[in-house]
């Protein structure tokens, strides 16, 4: 039986001096303190929780197109997991509604399958939850519960082809090596439709930015579901099971649900949606990256503001900036595409013409014409993508 220990016991967390940072939304949360910690294999990151580990990427690292492994955000649901994994004895099990049960080592994946790479954004479904108004329960992430990386591995469809998926397959479930601390707590298992699993987009990755996956990001294998929220990106993946019908796991039936047939997952506190479905594809959104709210702008000095835009893979068509409370919009300049599942950087240059507070708004639109709403809210704080604003002080 595998020996499990709470993750926080081996993370070697060292608290750094708390520092105050403003958020990009005008509210009392602007004065909340961010506690930075240094976890095993990571640079100082923003602490959300230590059991299980939840660490947010500081905004300054989003000035890089590819998020380094040592500052890539960390999100786990279960606190019991291996302190180390021996890749020589590790096996990925594939079973269920298949013709052939598989037990694959990491070396099997490297040698027996064609290698595949994809640059893709991983974004927590609850990213930016702390900005919800009214506030909702859950991890109070700011904008750092995401990261952009190049993932290397094998296509899930090739693994399933080796197993020989039987006719009538409907769902495919994925389980990691992390386990709940109590028997009464449901194991974190997610599922995708079989048709999605064989479309050639989903991969089982063994490398992140050209290196083995960090333990805190899912070593030795991680499911990569490009364009979908990271709740499906199962880390420490060790079991794949094919079902001939709907998978009825707790984390698909009771959790990570959003309003059905309502764009942006929107609902109102006094009229909650009655029909809900599992969250899926990422909505279009954009954020400010630099300058940060704590930075001061100088009167009459040209300033480049930059940020990131993203969606579920349809592609960003344009990003616009407003200086007058969304009454008029001006185009921002887009950097080159890094791949349809990657974020895309935007830039906007302006010259502050008066002292005091200067507020900007940003919205992105994708190639399907989908854009950001002026307000977005739901009971779980998922899919937040309302028009983003930021306030600078001009001297």
pLDDT tens column, 356-389? 999 999 999 999 999 999 999 999 999 999 999 9
In angstroms and rounded to an integer, the radius of gyration of the C-alpha atoms of the chain is 21
Q: DSSP per residue over 117-133, as a string?
A: EEEEEEE-TTTTGGG-S
pLDDT, residue 79, reads: 87
Q: Tell me how far apart the 2 most distant CA atoms of the chain are, in Å.
A: 71
pLDDT, residue 226, reads: 98
pLDDT tens column, 49-71? 988 999 999 999 999 999 999 99
Say if residue 52 is preceded by a cis peptide, omega within 30 of 0: yes
pLDDT, residue 32, reads: 60
Q: DSSP per residue over 49-105, as a string?
A: EETTEEEE--GGGGGSSS--GGG--EE-S-SEE-S---TTT--EEEEESBSS-EEE-
Task: Give me the residues of the chain with pLDDT under 70, please.
Answer: 1-32
pLDDT, residue 34, reads: 84
The verdict on domain 285-394 having CATH code 2.60.40.650 is yes
**Count of alpha carbons within 13 Å of 366, Cβ hemisphere only?**
20
CATH superfamily membership of 92-278: Oxidoreductase, molybdopterin-binding domain (3.90.420.10)
- 8 Å CB contact between 112 and 102: no
- 8 Å CB contact between 11 and 53: yes
Angle in degrees, CA 255, 149, 23, rounded to 5: 65
pLDDT, residue 289, reads: 98
| 110 C-beta neighbours (distance < 10 Å), count | 14
- 8 Å CB contact between 110 and 222: no
- 8 Å CB contact between 257 and 278: yes
| CA neighbor of 296 nearest in space, from 154, 391, 199, 184 | 391
Strands 257-259 vs 276-278: parallel, antiparallel or unpaired = antiparallel
Domain layout of the chain by residue ranges: 5-81, 92-278, 285-394
Angle in degrees, CA 213, 183, 82, rounded to 5: 25
Give the global pTM: 0.93
- 8 Å CB contact between 99 and 117: no
Q: What single-letter DSSP state applies at residue 354?
A: S
Distance between CA atoms of 390 and 395, rounded to whole angstroms?
16
């Amino acid at each position: 039986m595998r020996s499990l220990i709470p993750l926080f016991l081996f993370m070697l967390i060292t608290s750094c001096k708390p520092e105050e940072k403003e958020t990009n939304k005008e509210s009392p949360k602007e004065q909340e303190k961010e506690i930075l910690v240094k976890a095993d294999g990571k640079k100082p990151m923003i602490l959300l929780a230590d059991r299980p580990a939840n660490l947010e990427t500081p905004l300054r690292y989003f000035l890089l197109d590819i998020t380094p492994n040592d500052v890539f955000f960390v999100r786990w649901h279960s606190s019991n997991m291996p302190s180390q994994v021996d890749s020589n004895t590790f096996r990925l099990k594939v079973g269920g509604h298949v013709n052939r049960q598989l037990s694959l080592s990491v070396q099997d994946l490297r040698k027996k399958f064609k290698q595949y790479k994809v640059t893709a954004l991983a974004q927590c479904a609850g990213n930016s939850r702390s900005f919800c108004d009214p506030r909702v329960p859950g991890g109070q992430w700011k904008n750092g519960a995401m990261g952009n990386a190049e993932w290397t591995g094998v296509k899930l469809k090739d693994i399933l082809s080796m197993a020989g998926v039987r006719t009538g397959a409907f769902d495919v479930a994925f389980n990691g090596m992390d386990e709940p601390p109590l028997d009464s707590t449901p194991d974190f298992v997610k599922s995708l439709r079989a048709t999605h699993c064989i479309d050639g987009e989903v991969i089982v990755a063994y490398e992140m930015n050209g290196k083995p996956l960090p333990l805190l990001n899912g070593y030795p294998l991680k499911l990569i579901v490009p364009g979908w929220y990271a709740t499906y990106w199962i880390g420490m993946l060790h079991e794949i099971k094919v079902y001939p019908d709907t998978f009825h796991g707790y984390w698909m039936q009771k959790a990570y649900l959003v309003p059905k047939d309502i764009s942006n997952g929107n609902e109102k506190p006094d009229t909650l949606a009655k029909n809900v479905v599992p969250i899926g594809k990422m909505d279009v959104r954009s954020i400010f990256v630099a300058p940060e709210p704590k930075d001061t702008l100088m009167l009459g000095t040209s300033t480049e503001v930059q940020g990131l835009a993203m969606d579920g893979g349809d592609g960003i068509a344009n990003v616009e900036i407003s200086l007058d409370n969304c009454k008029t919009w001006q185009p921002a300049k887009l950097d080159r595409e890094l791949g349809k599942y990657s974020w895309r950087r935007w830039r906007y240059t302006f010259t502050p013409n008066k002292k005091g507070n200067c507020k900007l708004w940003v919205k992105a639109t994708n190639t399907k014409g989908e854009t950001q709403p002026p307000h977005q809210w739901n009971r779980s704080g998922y899919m937040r993508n309302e028009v983003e604003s930021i306030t600078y002080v001009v001297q």
